[in-house]
Amino acid sequence: MNQNRSVSGQAQGVPPRIFSVVQESDVQVDPRPAPLTNMRLALQTLMDCMSAGRDTPRLGAFFGYSGYGKTVAAGFAAARTNAFYVCAKSVWTQRTLLEAIASELGITKMARTAPAILAQVTEHLTIFPRPLVIDEMDFLVKRQAVEIIRDIHDATSIAIMMIGEEDLPAKLKEWERFDNRIRVSTAAQPASDEDTLKLRDHYCLSARIADDLALRFKQACRGCTRRIVTNLIEADAIARDERQANADLAWWGSRPIMNGDLQPRRPQGGAA
């Protein structure tokens, strides 16, 4: 007898089939508008996959450069759609991935083997279908764990959105059977002026950071959300310490902007 199945055939650790199977289309999506561009794009990518039929591809990719706010956007999309969310780590194996997904699904008693855990995961998602968001997908590509995502996709009706770096779509081309199941690929965008001012209003609570200074940060950081936020927080702290009520570009002056560029070495004095 299979040690990983009960007499009724139910995978261990998966809730019993008491109610009829629900449909992913029954998932309620929060209708409020997304605050930032990449939050909106990630949510739309996931919703496009959710709207697909069972017999059509339901994989989505949201990709872009580091610092564009993809993880925040992924978390936002997951929260708005009540999706399961898993963030991969660099040391994960195929079994670790399955265990992480099973844990996120609430499966408390995992089977002993990876194939049996996969069966638990797919059965749970068949009975209780909710979207799945997988962040740091590049790690799973590197660890040859891509086919597990395809197994889950093919055995269920759920939408799956993968988050990764700029070259994620190119990496996935290596797996043709996986690549042709991707319904939509969406590129994360650099922060817009509107995004920057919204970030300013969210993070700068001690002083009034003027539009011209916030937008200068955006320009110098080439739209990288993480670096924009770093500079906004720094400006807010300096303005607070200096008791500067209105911190504008003229006040900032020649202070450096942290944008990742190497700062020129200052001469030490004296001839070389």
77 Cβ partners below 8 Å, 6+ apart?
39, 42, 43, 45, 46, 83, 133, 161
Phi, psi for 61 (deg, rounded to 5): -125, 130
Long-range interactions of 48-55: CB distance < 8 A, separation 24+:
48/183, 48/184, 49/131, 49/159, 49/160, 49/161, 49/183, 49/184, 50/24, 50/25, 50/81, 50/131, 50/159, 52/159, 52/183, 54/157
CA distance 202 to 226: 14
CA distance 243 to 114: 59
Sequence ranges of the domains in the chain? 24-187, 193-252
CA 71 to chain centre: 3
pLDDT in tens, the chain (272 residues): 444 433 333 444 444 433 334 455 555 565 666 699 999 999 999 999 999 987 899 999 999 999 999 999 999 999 999 999 999 999 999 999 999 999 999 999 999 999 999 999 999 999 999 999 999 999 999 999 999 999 999 999 999 999 999 999 999 999 999 999 999 999 999 999 999 999 999 999 989 999 999 999 999 999 999 999 999 999 999 999 999 988 999 999 999 999 887 565 555 654 44
For the whole model, what pTM was predicted? 0.83
Coil, helix or strand for 180? coil
Q: The domain at 24-187 falls in which architecture?
A: 3-Layer(aba) Sandwich (3.40)
